[in-house]
């Protein structure tokens, strides 16, 4: 929107710029606490891991292209398969949607100047990077985890897996969980306390509802995984007994705790995709989301009910029926909120004046894959059907339709959608549409045939298969599809890279979006907004009078908060302004804590427990130094 | 709208008292601690869940050869620990009224009792490890994991109180008041947890 | 129902309507699941778990609380029926929550009934 600012306003803007600017160069980035810079760090790091996971996938697909191939040994295949799953879930999809998209967009969407805990935000990133490097060290040492991303016992126990592979897995994921927990706490407090005046919960963007659901899920799901991994390490290295029957343990204990985390995890994967979809659809349909409260509810409800379905991953383990019915019932009901969302999305597009630019195309692809993947998902809620298809490629088909088709497509669409905001330039539209169709075709060709061979009986997790079963043609077409998919992805990134340097200038609001990130410049200044916006509806950027009122406040110096590094805090439910907070600037301590923590985990891996304790002490000292200077002293 | 208080600028006990009175919402630091407590509570929920899951998986609990848990000493120790919530709450209330000296005295008292509790519990822990080591059975594995995790949380709580005592040696600011509130919340959690843990620990006697 | 609601604070009704059924289902799931594990494990010889009694009680209580939560949500919905869900707090926000809660509670009611029925209908400890 056009901003004609007069002298006093310009002065304030200049002062804000001087207060909030961070130093350029490497030291600036290492000490950054700016949520936008941290978002970009996450973006590029997760893309690197996406590439690694993709290479792992292509290697597996090459091995599986024909029967009885010897491209990879069984041991190597097991490591690739495990690392593909671990990388894609823990090092790509979740940090990309939360760390990159969430970090960059949430403060902008709620009209704040930063996250609630800027230094802890940086800490989350450095811990994430360290945990990824920790786990990939195992790949370079040829001892990558090899028991699947779900790491079932007894295969993961010392008797069957004596090397360090599983220790890398367990310690690496605990390390990663610390990063995710810190990030989740940060998101929730930010969403609760830092919303612009007037943005009561019913006026919060749907993307923020999705991120709130994701963060709450992370808070309550991660402990289950953490404790499972702690039990595993205690049993492997200190002789404890949790999982062996001979000493009163139970192998299924691992599965219960893993899936108690693991199922919410898959909703954590999909919810940000819902959030991105519900951001793109209103913009390109040029109308508000139909049934806004129900969509907001559905996002939270899916996450909540998702905590009660875990044993549907265990329908074939011999548990009694009276135990399983709880999970069959909840698994059937969890589809309802998702259906509500699908109806809301499609009706919004149908009732609007849709403009099918690349972001909306990706959302279209998302809806197709989500509906198909969701249908196969609901089929698994029926215990007998699940038992027939457990451990076949039908399951692989289902979750790749959901994870790739339904979680990654909105990420790709979101990259195009917010590219102008982040870079200030427009992407090339024609190339973007082509990249969509290529990616869509590749995805369909890779993962659709898996439904068929799954029903024909091809098991999961096999490194090869005999030629007499007629699976060869399907596998070959899946491999071809995987390479087409790769071409589509390369085209997307090529387009973005090219447009970064040669794209047309975008301006603040090229798509006429309704949420607040479009109310500031592209890219946003370090302080996000020269004046804190006041909000009276759920689509504040479509309220022209409110945005004009903001400009007038800038002239008067009201809610400009340019005395220091400031942002306002408000009440949780109704966003009544409460106080002005002095936010910290750049700091070396997050990186220092992450380094000490990394060394701590390395010592735990090599079983030098006393030295590990020393590094824990150093980490605590760094935390103390972090808190030594109070906000009002800076 | 611009009359919003700059709570961070409260650097005397009296100014902090005024900020505390005028506040509409709990500070960010409190919310951060509350969410951290939520993860830790869930962690202990899974540990206690594991305890009962394993219990249901075993006919004899504790298994043969492992002594039943002692009743009196754990209950007395837990009672002492839970009682420290009184001085901790007193510290929060008096500090929010600007009476820093009283708050610090109460915190010191709490920390001393908590340290005594931890020392005694560690002594019992080491004794029990020699009597029925975790490598012997699932019972002792979950027993020591549960108690060890709880003692670790008590230790961190004592560190938090000492940190607040150290920081408030030079006076009270809004930042330190928020730290005190967060620490107090953490201690309510640890004390409720102590009740749940001792209940679980003694459940075979029921 | 309207008479007693006059004496009940709308804020409480709003929150109970939003969270009541969800928390009830959570308790039914955790306790109900635990009871089946206890009944079908080796320790049942010592514990003697009456799984049907437990599950019927859980389901009955669950249905009652879920219905109360739905009543609370509908009450707030009715009280705020002339307000837009995007409107200013507290009414707009209450209408928003009540709309969401009135749909969500139906879902939880169905899950509670399905779970309880299944747990009571099937013979304890037979496997699928």
What is the separation, in whole angstroms, between the first and last Cα of chain C? 44
Tokens 């390109």 label which residue?
Answer: A284
Chain C residue with minimal CA distance to B62? C43
Window B:7-26, CB contacts with A under 8 Å:
7-9, 11, 19, 23-25
Q: Encoding tokens for residue A229?
A: 């991994």
Asked if B141's CB is within 8 angstroms of A234's CB, the reply is yes
Do A161 and A155 contact (CB within 8 A), yes or no?
yes
Asked if B57's CB is within 8 angstroms of C38's CB, the reply is no
Subunits that touch chain A (at least 3 Cβ pairs < 8 angstroms)? B, C
Asked if C45's CB is within 8 angstroms of B59's CB, the reply is yes
Interface size A-C, in CB pairs within 8 Å, comes to 116
Do C122 and A329 contact (CB within 8 A), yes or no?
no
Distance to chain A for B142, nearest Cα, Å: 8
- Contact partners, residue A334, CB within 8 Å, separation at least 6: A302, A305, A306, A309
Asked if B136's CB is within 8 angstroms of A240's CB, the reply is no
Window A:211-240, CB contacts with C under 8 Å:
none
Three-class DSSP category at B97: coil
Average pLDDT of the residues in A92-115: 97
Chain B residue with minimal CA distance to C31? B49
User: Is the confidence metric ipTM above 0.90 for this complex?
Assistant: yes
Distance to chain C for B59, nearest Cα, Å: 4
Interface size A-B, in CB pairs within 8 Å, comes to 152
Chain B residue with minimal CA distance to A629? B175
Residue A633 has pLDDT above 80, yes or no: no
Q: Is C106's Cβ below 8 Å from some Cβ in A?
A: no
Chain B residue with minimal CA distance to C46? B59
Average pLDDT of the residues in A512-524: 96
Which residues from chain C sit within 8 angstroms of residue A319, using beta carbons? 127
How much is the pTM?
Answer: 0.96
Residue A484 has pLDDT above 60, yes or no: yes
- The whole-angstrom separation of Cα A311 and Cα A323 is 9
Which residues from chain A sit within 8 angstroms of residue B139, using beta carbons? 248
- The whole-angstrom separation of Cα A538 and Cα A205 is 6
Chain C residue with minimal CA distance to A383? C128
Which residues from chain A sit within 8 angstroms of residue B27, using beta carbons? 569
Subunits that touch chain C (at least 3 Cβ pairs < 8 angstroms)? A, B
Asked if B59's CB is within 8 angstroms of C37's CB, the reply is no
pLDDT at C6: 55
Among candidates A537, A492, A494, which has minimal Cα distance to A514?
Answer: A537
Q: Is A137's Cβ below 8 Å from some Cβ in C?
A: no
Which residues from chain A sit within 8 angstroms of residue B155, using beta carbons? none
Average pLDDT of the residues in A245-269: 97
- The whole-angstrom separation of Cα A222 and Cα A235 is 20
Q: Which helix (H) or strand (E) holds A577?
A: strand A577-582
Over the stretch A385-408, which tens digit does the pLDDT of each residue have?
999 999 999 999 999 999 999 999
Q: Encoding tokens for residue C79?
A: 């009280």
Of B2, B11, B45, the CB nearest to A559: B2
Among candidates A84, A156, A68, which has minimal Cα distance to A399?
Answer: A84
- The whole-angstrom separation of Cα A617 and Cα A598 is 13
Asked if C37's CB is within 8 angstroms of B56's CB, the reply is yes
Q: Which of B6, B133, B169 to mutate to test the interface with A (most CBs of A within 10 A)?
A: B6
Q: Encoding tokens for residue B161?
A: 């109180």
Residue A427 has pLDDT above 60, yes or no: yes
Q: What is the mean pLDDT of chain B?
A: 94
Q: CA dihedral defined by A498, A133, A114, A19, rounded to 10 degrees?
A: -80
Over the stretch A270-322, which tens digit does the pLDDT of each residue have?
999 999 999 999 999 999 999 999 999 999 999 999 999 999 999 999 999 99
Tokens 């099937």 label which residue?
Answer: C122
Chain A residue with minimal CA distance to B33? A185
Which residues from chain B sit within 8 angstroms of residue C27, using beta carbons? none
- Contact partners, residue A404, CB within 8 Å, separation at least 6: A369, A443, A447
Residue B28 has pLDDT above 50, yes or no: yes
Asked if A571's CB is within 8 angstroms of B32's CB, the reply is no
Task: Write the burial class of residue B153 (CB in 10 Å: 0-12 exposed, 13-18 middle, 19+ buried).
Answer: buried
Of A301, A322, A574, the CB nearest to C119: A322
Q: Is A387's Cβ below 8 Å from some Cβ in C?
A: yes
pLDDT at A2: 46
Q: Encoding tokens for residue A70?
A: 């010897």
Asked if C125's CB is within 8 angstroms of A320's CB, the reply is yes
Residue A9 has pLDDT above 90, yes or no: no
Which residues from chain C sit within 8 angstroms of residue A201, using beta carbons? 93, 96-97
**Residue A558: band (very low, low, confident or very high) from pLDDT cuts 50, 70, 90:** confident
Q: Which of B41, B56, B63, B138 to mutate to test the interface with C (most CBs of C within 10 A)?
A: B56
The residues that bridge with A562 in the sheet, in sequence order, are none
Of A231, A568, A631, the CB nearest to B4: A568
pLDDT at A547: 93
Over the stretch C14-42, which tens digit does the pLDDT of each residue have?
999 999 999 999 999 999 999 999 999 99
Q: Which of C41, C45, C47, C89 to mutate to test the interface with B (most CBs of B within 10 A)?
A: C41
Q: Encoding tokens for residue C71?
A: 């009543």
| Packing angle, helices B138-167 and B174-202, rounded to 10 | 160
Q: Is B52's Cβ below 8 Å from some Cβ in C?
A: yes
Residue A254 has pLDDT above 70, yes or no: yes
- Contact partners, residue B3, CB within 8 Å, separation at least 6: none
Q: Is A188's Cβ below 8 Å from some Cβ in B?
A: yes
Tokens 């929730």 label which residue?
Answer: A188
Q: Read off the DSSP letter of residue B27.
A: -
Of B11, B43, B138, the CB nearest to A223: B43
Over the stretch A561-602, which tens digit does the pLDDT of each residue have?
888 889 999 999 999 999 999 999 899 999 999 999 999 999
Lowest mean pLDDT among A3-17, A242-256, A413-427, B26-40: A3-17
Do A66 and A476 contact (CB within 8 A), yes or no?
yes
Average pLDDT of the residues in B148-166: 96
Q: Which helix (H) or strand (E) holds A435?
A: helix A429-455
Query: Phi, psi (5° rounding) for residue A347?
Result: -70, -35
Over the stretch B108-138, which tens digit does the pLDDT of each residue have?
999 999 999 999 999 999 999 999 999 999 9
Which residues from chain B sit within 8 angstroms of residue A568, using beta carbons? 4
Distance to chain C for A610, nearest Cα, Å: 39
- The whole-angstrom separation of Cα A258 and Cα A169 is 13
Q: Is A536's Cβ below 8 Å from some Cβ in C?
A: yes
Distance to chain A for C44, nearest Cα, Å: 14
Do A222 and B39 contact (CB within 8 A), yes or no?
yes
The residues that bridge with A566 in the sheet, in sequence order, are A582
Do B173 and B20 contact (CB within 8 A), yes or no?
no
Over the stretch C47-100, which tens digit does the pLDDT of each residue have?
999 999 999 999 999 999 999 999 999 999 999 999 999 988 899 999 999 999
Of B49, B53, B58, the CB nearest to C42: B58
Q: CA dihedral defined by A62, A68, A70, A74, rounded to 10 degrees?
A: 90
Chain A residue with minimal CA distance to B49? A257
Residue A333 has pLDDT above 70, yes or no: yes
Asked if A319's CB is within 8 angstroms of C103's CB, the reply is no
Residue C5 has pLDDT above 80, yes or no: no
- Contact partners, residue A268, CB within 8 Å, separation at least 6: A94, A214, A217, A218, A221, A303
**Residue C3: band (very low, low, confident or very high) from pLDDT cuts 50, 70, 90:** low
Window C:4-33, CB contacts with A under 8 Å:
22, 25-26, 29, 32-33
pLDDT at A87: 98
DSSP character string of chain C:
-HHHHHTS-HHHHHHHHHHHHHHHHHHHHHHHHHHHHHHHSTTHHHH---HHHHHHHHHHHHHHHHHHHHHHHHHHHHHTTTS-TTSSTTHHHHHHHHHHHHHHHHHHHHHHHHHHHHHHHSPTT-B-
pLDDT at A628: 87
- The whole-angstrom separation of Cα A414 and Cα A360 is 9
Q: What is the mean pLDDT of chain A?
A: 95
Which residues from chain A sit within 8 angstroms of residue C91, using beta carbons? none
pLDDT at C2: 59
Three-class DSSP category at A105: helix
Which residues from chain A sit within 8 angstroms of residue C32, using beta carbons? 326
- The whole-angstrom separation of Cα A118 and Cα A458 is 49
- Number of C-beta neighbours around residue A2 at 10 A: 6
pLDDT at A1: 43
The residues that bridge with A570 in the sheet, in sequence order, are A577
Cα–Cα separations (whole angstroms), residue A626 to A427, A591, B33, C78:
41, 11, 17, 51
């Amino acid at each position: 929107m056009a901003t004609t600012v007069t002298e006093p306003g310009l002065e304030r803007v200049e002062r804000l710029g001087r207060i909030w600017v961070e130093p350029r160069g490497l030291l600036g980035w290492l000490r950054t606490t700016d949520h936008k810079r941290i978002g970009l760090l996450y973006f590029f790091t997760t893309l690197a891991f996406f590439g690694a996971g993709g290479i792992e996938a292509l290697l597996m697909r090459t091995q599986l292209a024909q029967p009885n191939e010897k491209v990879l040994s069984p041991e190597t295949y097991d490591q690739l398969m495990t690392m593909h799953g671990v990388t894609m879930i823990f090092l790509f999809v979740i940090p990309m949607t939360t760390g990159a998209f969430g970090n960059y967009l949430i403060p902008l969407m709620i009209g704040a100047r930063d996250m609630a805990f800027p230094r802890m935000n940086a800490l989350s990133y450095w811990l994430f990077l360290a945990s990824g490097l920790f786990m990939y060290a195992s790949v370079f040492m040829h001892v990558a985890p090899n028991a699947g991303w779900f790491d079932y016992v007894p295969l993961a126990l010392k008797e069957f897996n004596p090397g360090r592979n599983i220790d890398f897995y367990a310690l690496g994921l605990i390390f990663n969980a610390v990063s995710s927990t810190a990030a989740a706490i940060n998101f929730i407090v930010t969403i609760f306390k830092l919303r612009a005046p007037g943005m009561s919960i019913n006026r919060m963007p749907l993307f923020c509802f999705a991120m709130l659901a994701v963060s709450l899920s992370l808070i309550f799901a991660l402990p289950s995984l953490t404790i499972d991994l702690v039990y595993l390490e205690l049993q492997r290295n200190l002789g404890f007994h949790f999982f062996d029957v001979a000493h009163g343990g139970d192998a299924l204990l691992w599965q219960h705790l893993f899936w108690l985390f693991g199922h919410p995890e898959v909703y954590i994967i999909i919810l940000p995709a819902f959030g991105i979809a519900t951001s793109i659809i209103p913009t390109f349909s040029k109308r508000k989301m139909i049934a806004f409260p129900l969509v907001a509810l559905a996002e939270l409800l899916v996450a909540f009910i998702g905590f009660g379905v875990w044993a549907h991953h265990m329908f074939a383990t011999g548990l009694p029926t009276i135990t399983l019915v709880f999970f069959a019932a909840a698994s059937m009901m969890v589809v309802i909120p998702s259906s509500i969302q699908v109806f809301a999305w499609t009706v919004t597009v149908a009732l609007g004046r849709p403009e099918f630019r690349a972001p909306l195309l990706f959302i279209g692809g998302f809806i197709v894959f989500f509906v198909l993947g969701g249908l196969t998902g609901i089929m698994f809620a029926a215990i007998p059907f699940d038992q027939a298809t457990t451990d076949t490629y039908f399951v692989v088909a289902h979750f790749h339709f959901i994870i790739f088709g339904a979680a990654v497509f909105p990420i790709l669409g979101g990259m195009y959608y917010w590219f102008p905001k982040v870079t200030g330039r427009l992407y090339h539209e024609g190339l973007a549409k082509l990249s969509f169709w290529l990616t869509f075709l590749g995805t369909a060709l890779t993962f659709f045939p898996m439904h068929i061979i799954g029903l024909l009986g091809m098991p999961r997790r096999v490194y090869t298969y005999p030629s007499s079963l007629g699976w060869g043609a399907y596998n070959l077409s899946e491999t071809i599809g995987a390479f087409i998919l790769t071409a589509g992805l390369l085209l997307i990134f090529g387009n973005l890279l090219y447009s970064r340097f040669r794209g047309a200038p975008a301006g603040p609001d090229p798509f006429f979006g309704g949420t607040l990130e479009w109310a500031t410049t592209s890219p946003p200044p370090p302080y996000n907004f020269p004046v804190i916006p006041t909000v009276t509806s759920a689509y504040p950027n479509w309220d022209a009078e409110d945005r004009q009122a903001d400009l007038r406040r800038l002239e008067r110096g009201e809610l400009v908060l340019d005395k220091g590094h400031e942002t306002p805090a408000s009440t949780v439910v109704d966003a009544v302004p409460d106080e002005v907070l002095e936010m910290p600037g750049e700091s070396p301590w997050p990186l220092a804590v992450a380094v000490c923590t990394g060394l701590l985990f390395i010592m735990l891996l090599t079983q030098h427990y006393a030295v590990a304790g020393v590094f824990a002490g150093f980490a605590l000292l760094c935390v103390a130094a972090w808190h030594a200077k109070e906000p009002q002293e800076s | 709208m611009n009359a919003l208080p700059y709570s961070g600028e409260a650097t005397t006990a009296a100014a902090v008292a005024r900020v505390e009175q005028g506040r509409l919402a709990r500070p960010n630091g409190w919310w951060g601690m509350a969410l951290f407590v939520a993860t830790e509570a869930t962690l202990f929920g899974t540990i206690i869940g594991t305890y009962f899951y394993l219990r249901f998986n075993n006919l004899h609990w504790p298994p043969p050869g492992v002594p039943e848990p002692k009743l009196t000493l754990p209950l007395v120790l837990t009672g002492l620990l839970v009682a420290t919530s009184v001085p901790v709450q007193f510290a929060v209330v008096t500090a929010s009224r600007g009476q820093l000296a009283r708050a610090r005295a109460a915190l010191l008292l709490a920390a001393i009792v908590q340290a005594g509790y931890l020392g005694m519990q560690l002594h019992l822990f080491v004794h029990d490890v020699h009597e029925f080591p975790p490598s012997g059975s699932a019972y002792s594995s979950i027993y020591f994991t549960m108690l060890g995790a709880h003692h670790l949380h008590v230790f961190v709580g004592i560190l938090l109180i000492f940190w607040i005592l150290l920081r408030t040696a030079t006076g009270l600011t809004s930042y330190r008041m928020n730290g005190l509130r967060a620490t107090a919340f953490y201690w309510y959690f640890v004390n409720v947890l102590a009740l749940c843990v001792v209940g679980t620990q003694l459940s075979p006697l029921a | 129902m309207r008479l007693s609601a006059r004496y009940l604070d709308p804020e409480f009704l709003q929150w109970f309507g939003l969270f009541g059924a969800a928390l009830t289902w959570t308790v039914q799931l955790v306790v109900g699941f635990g009871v089946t594990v206890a009944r079908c494990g080796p320790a049942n010889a010592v514990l003697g778990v009456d799984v049907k009694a437990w599950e019927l009680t859980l389901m009955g209580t669950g249905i009652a609380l879920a219905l109360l939560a739905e009543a609370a949500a509908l009450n707030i919905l009715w009280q705020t029926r002339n307000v837009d869900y995007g409107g200013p707090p507290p009414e707009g926000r209450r209408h928003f929550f009540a709309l969401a809660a009135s749909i969500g509670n139906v879902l939880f009611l169905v899950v509670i009934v399905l779970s309880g029925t299944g747990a009571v209908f099937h013979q304890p400890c037979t496997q699928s």
